[in-house]
Amino acid sequence: MNLSREEQEMLDGKFGAGVQKAMELLVAVGECYDAERMVPVASVHLVSSNLNAGKGGALFIKDMAEKGSGVVIPATTNPSSIEPWSWKEMGFTEETRREQISISGDLKKMGCFICDTCTPYLIGHVPRFGEHVAWGESSAVIYANSVLGARTNREGGATGLAAAITGRVPECGNHLDKNRCGTLKIAVNANIKGDTDYSTLGYFAGRIAEDRVPIFAGIPPSVTADELKYLGAGLATSGSVSLFHVISVTPEASTEEVATGSKRIRSSDTFEFGPRELEEAEESLSKAGPEEADLVILGCPHYSISQIKNCAQLLSERKVKNNKEIWILVSHAIKQYAMDIGLAQIIESTGARLASNTCPNPMPRGFFRKRGFRTVATESAKMAYYVRMTQDVSCFLGSMDRIIDAVTSKA
Ligand code: F3S
């Protein structure tokens, strides 16, 4: 790779052992992907739960902190393995808590913002159009690339931290213009609305796209940022998609020609998403009825204040039925906002819980079974996919209003 003088000095150890190790890692990755050079990045979003990091990841982070490394650009963190405020009531163990606190403490020491959310863009971490960043967490990466028009690959925990310490990543993948053009098309003919439909569309399209860049035609300009958030999360679940375009909606897709870089998409690469595909995709993830659910999980990715408002309206003057729980996943900053304007009180008076800074994905395997949960209901295709895989529970996938109606009764 061609390194600048400063990058070469980082590699030679002039800025300390931590920076040197970080640059060695980035150069090795760059060589794997035939990157010609490094590109400066403006920010990092780090996957940092103790379960995702594992013992090796935790040691790497500790080693970097002990070497005196600090982050040189803003760096936020993804959900942790515990709910820091209600971990005992929610059934987390002291061991999980201790491990998570250790990792978060090391990252804080290096200058990271421990916000523990997969929607950092809802709390002020918003890259500008065309800006190079180094983000981890598939749903955040795809949102940054597609909806904000920033440029990032899917960084792992180690490369993300190395980027935060050096302010660089190898220039490859989504950082290059040539890799950002749409190569297959999804023609949406179903009447889709709401987070669940969009997340199901994403799940359907991700299976076809795998690691390619899909473009969507037929999505109305009235689609909301939250619906695009759910579309992206679904795409990044069934495929390793990290960028999509919606014609006339997302910033690199003013027309189909712009989205494809003037290349024609072959008819064999065009797929229809009609009412039948919507129904089949939803059924492939939904194997139980909503009334069977003993645990409801909403907010995957973490909810915005608009979604919380919608949820509070549906829950108002209702009570969660006996032996059922509702967890609504949010960042703590958004929870604080919901508390300030009275929405959190409405939600929690029904028996539902606003669980901040965590997510079931980095929770220990089997945690739900141990807590006695057998069936989860969710409005997110991503959550439906992961809880079935990691928590050995059956699942209902459907809209928030259908779920709330089934698991609550009039107060
Ligand atoms: Fe976020 Fe966890 Fe879903 S990280 S996108 S709430 S699986």
pLDDT category of residue 200 using cuts at 50, 70 and 90: very high
Tell me what pLDDT residue 392 has. Answer: 87
- How far, in Å, is the centroid of ligand 1 from the Cα of 340? 24
pLDDT category of residue 322 using cuts at 50, 70 and 90: very high
Nearest CA to ligand 1 atom 2: 359
Residue from 383, 389, 395, 397 to probe ligand 1 pocket by mutation (most atoms less than 8 Å from CB): 383
Q: Which atom of ligand 1 lies closest to the CA of 78?
A: 4
Name which residue leads in pLDDT, 113 or 362: 113
Go through 155-176 and write b for each residue having 16 or more CB atoms within 10 A of its CB, e for each that does not. bbbbbbbbbbbbbbbbbbbbbe
Tell me what pLDDT residue 346 has. Answer: 98
- How far, in Å, is the centroid of ligand 1 from the Cα of 337? 20
Closest CA to 362 of 157, 186, 198, 179: 157
Instruction: Give the mean model confidence (pLDDT) for residues 144-151.
Output: 98
Nearest CA to ligand 1 atom 1: 301
Is there a contact between 394 and 305 (Cβ–Cβ < 8 Å)?
A: no
Q: Which atom of ligand 1 lies closest to the CA of 301?
A: 5
Q: Is 300 in the pocket of ligand 1 (CB under 6 A)?
A: yes
DSSP state of 174: G
Nearest CA to ligand 1 atom 5: 301
Q: Tell me the two tokens of residue 47.
A: 């996957």
Residue from 302, 335, 389 to probe ligand 1 pocket by mutation (most atoms less than 8 Å from CB): 302
Q: Is 301 in the pocket of ligand 1 (CB under 6 A)?
A: yes
Spatial distance between the Cα atoms of 92 and 370, rounded to a whole number of angstroms: 10
- How far, in Å, is the centroid of ligand 1 from the Cα of 359? 6
Residues 6 or more apart whose CB falls under 8 angstroms from that of 277 comprise: 190, 204
Judged on CB neighbours under 10 Å (0-12, 13-18, 19+), 388 is: middle
Tell me what pLDDT residue 389 has. Answer: 87
User: pLDDT exceeding 90 applies to what percent of the chain?
Assistant: 90
pLDDT tens by residue, 54-112: 899 999 999 999 999 999 999 999 999 888 888 888 888 898 899 999 999 999 999 99
Sign of CA dihedral 387, 392, 397, 400: negative
Tell me what pLDDT residue 370 has. Answer: 87
Residue that has been written with the tokens 């760096």 in this structure? 75
Nearest CA to ligand 1 atom 3: 300
pLDDT tens by residue, 239-262: 999 999 999 999 999 999 999 999
Tell me what pLDDT residue 358 has. Answer: 92
Q: Is 97 in the pocket of ligand 1 (CB under 6 A)?
A: no
Nearest CA to ligand 1 atom 7: 361
Spatial distance between the Cα atoms of 178 and 176, rounded to a whole number of angstroms: 6
Spatial distance between the Cα atoms of 107 and 202, rounded to a whole number of angstroms: 33
Displacement of CA 257 from its chain's centroid (Å)? 29
Is there a contact between 42 and 131 (Cβ–Cβ < 8 Å)?
A: yes
Q: Is 38 in the pocket of ligand 1 (CB under 6 A)?
A: no
Tell me what pLDDT residue 92 has. Answer: 83
- How far, in Å, is the centroid of ligand 1 from the Cα of 81? 11
Instruction: Give the mean model confidence (pLDDT) for residues 172-185.
Output: 98
β-sheet with 184-188: strand ranges across: 245-246, 214-217, 184-188, 270-273
- How far, in Å, is the centroid of ligand 1 from the Cα of 382? 8
pLDDT category of residue 51 using cuts at 50, 70 and 90: confident
Spatial distance between the Cα atoms of 3 and 13, rounded to a whole number of angstroms: 14
Q: Is 359 in the pocket of ligand 1 (CB under 6 A)?
A: yes
- How far, in Å, is the centroid of ligand 1 from the Cα of 302? 7
